[in-house]
A and B are shown apart, each in its own frame.
Chain A
């Protein structure tokens, strides 16, 4: 982050109108260090300028958002990605998250919410939309089944804790982190750490529901 505390962000988005809209909504609160409209150019520019946060369109010419993640993260693991998409299709969401994005928002998100998401990702936390929280609850429903245990899954990674479930449930109900914290009588920091932990599980777990998406999309 720069000295002024403004996160340096990079836009990867193929619609020029939407890029302009995002720029206008984020305004002076961030420093936009560059933008790209297709995957190859994005990888090159991001590696060159190493922004704090990349706002990444999931659907992109030249391999989509996943190609950008795959091209940048091995050499620049410090760059953080926040995915934006018009669709909430679980396969889109899960693909970019497992490819390394730290958050996911739909494009209908309001300006202030987007800004908050950017700050959160810049600070190393995860950003879950209600839809993503719902999806995780679905994928991790009912704890590890007998089949999972037989497959030798790691309970650390393949189950979410009751507390994490509570947090996700409130996020799925449309609560902000602050409201979740108030409702559960914990600090916002704790909520953030729960969500980050869930994000890690989402990225690393080999649960059937998740690996199915991954294999379907040839991500493994």
Chain B
């Protein structure tokens, strides 16, 4: 069995999990081994980073490095840290602290590898890195950061004190200053030589980030145009012999487009004036019927005032309903809402063509994700049941805290 990084037993990149599975050694021992190697000479961290880079993830055909070869900006970034590496080496040598020198190069190689990994990981692994690793490793960027901030300050103070101690011990203050002065001059030289290049690299990275944001915005815009405008144009063509219907469709679309372009109101957001769940569902029904030319059969049992959580529920419901209207091919969508003492349940069902939820390509997963995300954000849940040929049912459930009217 070839070595593959594991997706199940992983803390960072799944290297230890992969080694454990290939060799049969318990993963805990493998991890301890890597930690010991790191403590000795830093070699553990080096091996780990290179393995992450060169060993493909299980069920992925290529490793990250093969993709990194075409990432020119990433390679430039890696080259850009070389002067910093030289700098640290020179300073360490001038202060004759050899073990800093030996530790430096594994750390820098690992840092280079980390840059390439972060930029070239596959979509699935990027999701893991952004979703799990970055929050776990990041300090002081999350909301509950007061203790972390304290920890960071204490850690920094400790390191500074240790550095000072190393500098002074065995030299005396006077003798320590001379090599430090040399190091400072050297740093200045490197900054003068490489500074402009580093700056341009930084500008490049920022431009790249902006370009990505713009592309996302454009995709969102395209999705909206597709959702509403193209849909309306299709409906208008279909009802060409009915002038009143054409005028109605065109006017509704114009109103929506204006409110989106000039007032920044997201299309399809539940009208503000709806104050109860049944009113909100009624608005939703009218909008979806007008926009997509399907019948929405609504049954509501009980009623209650709208909260933020329930508005989110309505947004998710709209998404599920629009989705059914667009993709199922069914002319009718059933919507059933029931208000209970502790929760609101909502079912969106169509008898259309259905799909295999396991076989949806990643780029079409967006809808399911955005429904689930909306619900999870307020502590609700969403279940999508479907099979080819037997329609689709989306079950949404949102807990409620306020009392039934």
Stretch in contact with the other chain, from B98-106, B187-195, B235-243, B296-304: B296-304
Asked if B336 contacts A172 (CB within 8 A), the reply is yes
Among residues 129 to 143 in chain A, which have CB atoms less than 8 Å away from a CB atom of chain B? Answer: 130-131, 133-134, 137-138, 141
Is the pair B301, A134 in contact by a Cβ cutoff of 8 Å?
A: yes
Taking a contact as CB atoms under 8 Å apart, the answer to whether B334 and A137 are in contact is: no
- Give the docked Cα–Cα distance between A53 and B338 (Å): 33
Shortest Cβ distance from residue A182 to the other chain B in the assembled complex, whole angstroms: 11
**B122 within 8 Å of A by Cβ?**
no
Tell me if A108 counts as interface (CB < 8 A to partner B). Answer: yes
Q: How large is the interface on B (under 10, 10 to 19, 20 to 34, 35 or more residues)?
A: 10 to 19
- For chains A and B in complex, what number of residue pairs have CB atoms within 8 angstroms? 36
Could you tell me if B302 and A172 are in contact, using CB atoms closer than 8 angstroms? Answer: no
CB contact between A130 and one of B297, B302, B338, B393 (< 8 Å): that residue: B297
A56 to chain B, nearest CB (A): 22
Question: B334 to A174, Cβ gap below 8 A?
Answer: yes
B295 within 8 A of A: yes
Q: Which residue of A lies closest to B341 (CB)?
A: A142
Chain B residues whose C-beta falls within 8 Å of the C-beta of A138 in the assembled complex: 301-302
Q: Does B65 contact A (CB under 8 A)?
A: no
Contacts of B338 on A, CB cut-off 8 Å?
A: 137, 169, 172
CB distance from B232 to the nearest CB of A (A): 24
B301 adjacent to A137 (CB under 8 Å)? yes
Known A130-B336, A134-B336: A174·B301 in contact at CB below 8 Å: no
Q: B374-394 interface mask toward A, CB cutoff 8 Å, 1 = contact, 0 = none?
A: 000000000000000000010
Q: Could you tell me if A172 and B295 are in contact, using CB atoms closer than 8 angstroms?
A: no
* Interface residue A173 (Cβ < 8 Å from any Cβ of B): yes
Q: A172 to chain B: which residues have CB within 8 Å?
A: 299, 301, 336, 338
Q: Are B295 and A173 in contact (CB under 8 A)?
A: no
Say whether A133 contacts B302, CB under 8 Å.
no
Which B residues are closer than 8 A to A by beta carbons?
295, 297, 299-302, 334, 336, 338, 347, 349, 351, 393
Additional A-B contacts beyond A130-B334, A173-B336 (13; CB < 8 A)? A108-B295, A130-B297, A131-B299, A134-B299, A134-B300, A141-B302, A169-B336, A169-B338, A172-B338, A173-B334, A173-B347, A173-B393, A174-B349
A contact set with B: CB distance below 8 Å: 108, 130-131, 133-134, 137-138, 141, 169, 172-174
